[in-house]
Amino acid sequence: MDIAGLQETHASLTAQIAAAESQLANLKESLHATENLIRSANGARTETSPQKWPLLEDEYRRYGRQMIVSQIGLQGQLKLRSSSVLLVGAGGLGCPAALYLAGAGVGTLGMIDGDQVEESNLHRQVLHRTKNVGKYKVDSAIQYLEELNPHPTYIAHREHLSSQNAPDIFEKYDVILDCTDNPATRYLISDTAVILGKPVVSASALRTDGQLMVLNNPPNAPGDLSGGPCYRCVFPKPPPAESVVSCADGGIIGPVVGTMGVLQALETIKVITKQPVEETQEPTASDHPALHIFSAYSNPPFRTIRLRGRRANCAVCSSNATVTLHTLQSGSTDYVQFCGSAYPPQLLSAQERISADEYKQILETKQSCTVIDVRDQTQFGICKLENSINIPITQLMNETATTNVDVTERLRSLLPPNTPAVDDKDPIYFVCRLGNDSQLAVQKFKELGLDRNGERFIGDIRGGFKSWKSDVDPEWPEY
């Protein structure tokens, strides 16, 4: 069989496996719902066999240690059992949050995520297992949760959140957890929750730091300034698209994102079990909205910033809201446009870029050139091209153009100490992990005049080390 036939067979088998796994997940969901109905029937009150206690015997044993805590008690446990929580994202935040909410006895847990489990997820996304690589994250997570606690109802939404499906999905839940990693989705989650009157527990994590907020709490109607602020109230303008760094680019320590996910679960339990405040009772410090900041390598690692209330001119929770259910469902609220392009920048012309294979030919023919790796020193230490020079992009972008400075001396000042002299005519190629920062580096070098007004070629390796691995060296470490 030729390669085309093998690829067609592979695609067919992959599709059949995905369909079978989806059918199996649906059957498990139906079985679980049936088991819940059986348990409910066995514990239901009847005239001949009245139920003496509000919880099942197994539930008293399972949740007893948290029910004896005064802030929870029996009434709090009953609230948890009757509540429904949606986690948007089954990754580093969603996994620990779901784990503790299921353990605490939340009655219905929904998870929405259209991604599949990858090996790179496993160091921090603690519900997934090596054997589940390739499965939908929501199915992998729920498989684990069902083994932990069979009492809750688990609902898998195997899709990505969009402005079209968000209202219908959110409507079924009491509390929404924002466990995502990009601004566009965060604004969508917050906007939808405000419109439908749902509190949001939002967290984020990157490298060694994390943030946590409880938004739209209490979830009063738009225009009611006594309601909790929304995401737009805290961040009226999104960050510049080029400044947004993902875990894939910036890195993340597993326990850091785990800490934030556990805190999300805790704040959700507090929202669900909170006692109603009497009109005569003064609000306490814990009633005020706050931004909690965690930094693993700081001492102390936690600090809290008190947030302002709702903005009177907020686009979604003010009396003059411009974001409504209609604008959501019609698609007229474009979150990607609002937050900036989600696609990698294409800053250079085709003439300023070479492919990984073309650079391989340059090495094989021993053409004289300089290759500069603009990853940070930590990544450079993991793997690097032979004879490459490391100048981190953060260092390079801080350079400013100056006059009356010899170009050769300027280049020498940028290079690390003890770097061999670079020929004035040698072409310079920049490389990075994905081919994005390298484009910025090319532009910066030309801005500094190091191309000698076009006499020296300065360009980048298109696609970076991702292309190098796929097109040149399959053994190149992928991290």
Q: Which CATH number belongs to the domain containing residue 235 in this structure? A: 3.40.50.720
372 and 407 inside one domain:
yes
pTM: 0.80
The residue among 241, 450, 438, 227 whose CA lies nearest residue 321 is 227
46 or 388, which is more confident: 388
pLDDT at 337: 86
> Does 51 reside within a domain?
no
Query: Given pLDDT bands bounded at 50, 70 and 90, which one contains residue 147?
Result: very high
CATH number, position 373: 3.40.250.10
Residue 106 and residue 76 in contact, taking contact as beta carbons nearer than 8 Å:
no
pLDDT at 45: 43
The residue among 253, 255, 202, 209 whose CA lies nearest residue 230 is 202
322 and 376 inside one domain:
no
132 and 176 inside one domain:
yes
Give the angle subtended at the CA of 332 by the CAs of 331 and 333, to the nearest 5°: 90
> Does 376 reside within a domain?
yes
49 or 301, which is more confident: 301
* Helices (H), ranges, 342-420: 356-364, 377-382, 393-396, 407-414
* Predicted confidence (pLDDT) at residue 308 exceeds the cutoff of 80: yes
The pair of structure tokens assigned to 272 is: 């669900």
176 and 198 inside one domain:
yes
The residue among 136, 132, 130 whose CA lies nearest residue 116 is 136
Find the domain containing 466 and state its range.
353-472
321 and 372 inside one domain:
no
Catalytic residues: 247, 432
Q: What percent of the chain has pLDDT over 70?
A: 88
The pair of structure tokens assigned to 60 is: 């008293």
If you average pLDDT over residues 24-28, what whole number do you get? 69
What per-residue string of b and e applies to 271-304 under the rule 16 or more CB within 10 Å gives b? bbbeeeeeeeeeeeeeeebeebebbeeeeeeeee
> Does 462 reside within a domain?
yes
Residue 391 and residue 374 in contact, taking contact as beta carbons nearer than 8 Å:
yes
Residues forming a β-bridge with 110: 86, 155
114 and 155 inside one domain:
yes
pLDDT at 407: 82
Binding site residues for ATP, as ranges? 92, 113, 120-124, 137, 181-182
Say how many domains are in the chain: 2
366 and 413 inside one domain:
yes
Please give the Cα distance from 437 to 393 (Å, whole number): 7
> Does 193 reside within a domain?
yes
pLDDT at 44: 46
24 or 225, which is more confident: 225
215 and 325 inside one domain:
yes
pLDDT at 275: 80
333 and 376 inside one domain:
no
Binding site residues, as ranges? 92, 113, 120-124, 137, 181-182, 230, 233, 314, 317
User: Which residues, in sequence order, are CB contacts of 133 under 8 Å at separation 6+?
Assistant: 116, 117, 118, 119, 122
Please give the Cα distance from 169 to 82 (Å, whole number): 18
359 and 331 inside one domain:
no
If you average pLDDT over residues 34-39, what whole number do you get? 61
334 and 359 inside one domain:
no
Looking up tokens 């499906």 gives 165
> Does 197 reside within a domain?
yes
Binding site residues for Zn(2+), as ranges? 230, 233, 314, 317
Residues 231-271: tens digit of each pLDDT: 999 999 998 877 788 887 789 999 999 999 999 999 999 99
Residues 183-219: tens digit of each pLDDT: 999 999 999 999 999 999 999 999 999 999 999 999 9
pLDDT at 274: 93
The residue among 191, 192, 219 whose CA lies nearest residue 315 is 191
If you average pLDDT over residues 90-98, what whole number do you get? 98
